[in-house]
């Protein structure tokens, strides 16, 4: 997986998350959460080249951003320096193993468009819970898969959408499945909203949960 994402982030043409049209909306969501928690410590799990991370970093107290790819970490670190953003540290880490973060360190864990790329997603959710402090929040996004959208994909876009070679997506989650995974690890008050397009065909699911 590390080699795959080093190749992925090694070419600007392939770095699709840098051009995510939903990034401004996600930044606003996260900044709203941070305004209610001044000085928050944030773990960004799967930060890629740092586009989303750097969008909200100034609203946080401290950000520890993790990504499996050295290429992504190098790019994000360079961009943070060029933008003069302090208080954020990018580090390479395998998100399917223990993260280099202390138990209960994070007031907020951000993980955007990541879980669909993870093989051992139970271990990933275990780590979300471990690094979150009691009362802390998780902001998680992943491609939306509701009934009507799934039917539309089955008819018109199945091969392209579910081709993991092209997208890197190897898991697909409904809101109900995400809720079960979070609740099983001690998260509560799980709420959802959806971004992009009209609601039945939304691009992304956003789950916000309290530890």
CATH (residue range 2-210): 3.40.50.150
* CA 121 to chain centroid: 13
| CB 178 within 8 Å of CB 205 | yes
Per residue, the 3-state secondary structure of the chain, as one string, reads CHHHHHHHHHCHHHCHHHHCCCHHHHHHHHHHHHHCCCCCEEEEECCCCCHHHHHHHHHCCEEEEEECCHHHHHHHHHHHHHHCCCCEEEEECCCCCCCCCCCCCEEEEEEECCHHHCCCHHHHHHHHHHHEEEEEEEEEEEECCCHHHHHHHHHHCHHHHCCHHHHCCCCCCCHHHHHHHHHCCCCEEEEEEEECCCHHHCCEEEEEEEC
Give per-residue pLDDT as tens, 154-164.
677 666 655 65
What does the pLDDT read at residue 93? 97
pLDDT in tens, 128-165: 999 999 999 999 999 987 666 656 656 776 666 556 55
**Residue tagged 């953003």 (tokens):** 85
Question: How confident is the model at residue 133, as a pLDDT?
Answer: 98
Structure tokens at 12: 């600007």
Write out the two tokens for 26: 């996600």
Measure the CA dihedral 164/169/171/177, to 10°.
Answer: -150
Q: What is the pLDDT along the chain (211 residues), one digit of tens a residue?
A: 667 666 767 765 444 446 789 999 999 999 999 999 999 999 999 999 999 999 999 999 999 999 999 999 999 999 999 999 999 999 999 999 999 999 999 999 999 999 998 999 999 999 999 999 999 999 999 998 766 665 665 677 666 655 655 556 788 899 999 999 999 999 999 999 999 988 888 889 999 999 9
Residue 15: the pLDDT is 46
């Amino acid at each position: 997986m590390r080699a795959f994402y080093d190749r992925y982030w090694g070419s600007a043409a392939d770095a699709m998350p840098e051009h995510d049209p939903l990034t401004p909306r996600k930044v606003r969501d996260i900044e709203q959460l941070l305004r209610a928690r001044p000085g928050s410590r944030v773990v960004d799990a799967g930060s890629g080249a740092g586009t989303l991370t750097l969008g909200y970093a100034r609203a946080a107290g401290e950000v520890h951003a993790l990504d499996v790819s050295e290429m992504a970490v190098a790019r994000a670190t360079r961009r943070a320096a060029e933008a003069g953003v302090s208080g954020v540290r990018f580090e390479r880490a395998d998100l399917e193993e223990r993260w280099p973060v202390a138990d209960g360190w994070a007031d907020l864990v951000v993980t955007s468009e990541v879980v669909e790329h993870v093989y051992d997603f139970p271990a990933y959710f275990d780590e979300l819970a471990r690094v979150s402090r009691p009362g802390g929040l998780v902001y998680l996004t992943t491609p939306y898969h509701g009934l009507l959208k799934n039917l539309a994909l089955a008819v018109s876009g199945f091969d392209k959408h579910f081709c993991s070679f092209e997208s890197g997506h190897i898991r697909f989650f409904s809101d109900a499945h995400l809720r079960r995974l979070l609740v099983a690890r001690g998260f509560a008050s799980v709420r959802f909203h959806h971004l992009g397009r009209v609601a039945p065909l939304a691009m992304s699911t956003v789950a916000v949960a309290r530890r």
